[in-house]
Amino acid sequence: MVHRGSLLHPLRAASGEMEVKMKRKGFSTQTIVFGAFLVTIAFLLGGGFQRVTGIPTSIKLNFGGASQSIGFTAVPLVIASLVLGPFGGLIVAALYDTLQYLLITGGVWNPIFTLSEIVVGWLPGMIYLGFKKVNLTRSIRRELVAFLVAYGLAMILMTSVMGQGQSEAQRVVQMISFENGFHIVNGILLGAFLLAIVLSIVLMFFFSHKRSTEGLFSFDKIYLVTFLAMILRSLISGYGLWLYMGKTVPLIFYWLPRFVTPMFLVPIVSFAITGLGYILKRYTHD
């Protein structure tokens, strides 16, 4: 097996479930270079590219007057966590957030927001290590499909209940309502939300029918670790914003938009990482 790219050296040992082994005495030169490459990509996706070119690298969803950005910095951060391990991913995420704060965001530094990014670089690698310890090689597609359906229904019902009798600003993610009879509040958001669930399930079935030896990543497991990382980041960042805004409304109203957006973001991130794995396996391995 011959590797054809020095920057992709950490991926050399990755086949199937990405069995990546770090040197016990420290990081290799290739690992450091690859980590720096991921930090750069995360910085560009996190606003650096837009700062220079004016071209946005995120998608803004409008929730009835409030907007929630869906960025793609999770792609390099999750890759760092899987390829470099949870500690390496943590370092990449911390460096990315520091660069973004110093060169783009500015203002008062808030460690809670830094922690929310670090989680994305740390948690996926930790969960993958758990998969290896229990030797989880089978597909978890069925469990994920059941989870997505339950999560989707829970979010639709929760946004309905929390949005009843509240101000317009607090009903930003309400999709349906049972007040004065059932009616759809935000048909576009509801349709997009359901479409995202269907897309996730379709992608799981698509990749499950491809041979595992063709790629470096298992889509269902990538989806799970990414989803859990996004939810934990949403909890932390929502709490940080709630504190920053002076606790003017209940905390749940800062969490709800961040609980809805992972359904849109996770399939995109998982598809990007899994597809990248197929490309790398094809062009960097004989």
Bridge partners of residue 66, in order along the sequence: 63
Whose CA is closest to 223, among 201, 246, 248, 254?
201
Is the pLDDT at 247 greater than 90? The verdict is no
pTM for this prediction = 0.82
CA–CA gap between residue 88 and residue 86 (Å, rounded) = 6
Q: Cβ(80)–Cβ(121) under 8 Å?
A: yes
Which two three-digit tokens encode residue 168? 């317009």
Is the pLDDT at 3 greater than 90? The verdict is no
CB-neighbour burial class of residue 100 (10 A; exposed 0-12, middle 13-18, buried 19+): buried
Lowest mean pLDDT among 25-29, 89-93, 169-173: 25-29
6-284 has which CATH code?
Answer: 1.10.1760.20
The tens digit of pLDDT for each residue in 113-150 reads 899 999 999 999 999 888 877 777 777 888 999 999 99
Strands (E), the chain: 59-63, 66-70, 176-177, 183-184
Q: Does residue 167 come out as left (phi exceeding 0), alpha (psi in the -120 to 50 range) or beta?
A: beta
Is the pLDDT at 13 greater than 60? The verdict is no
Domain locations in the chain as residue ranges: 6-284
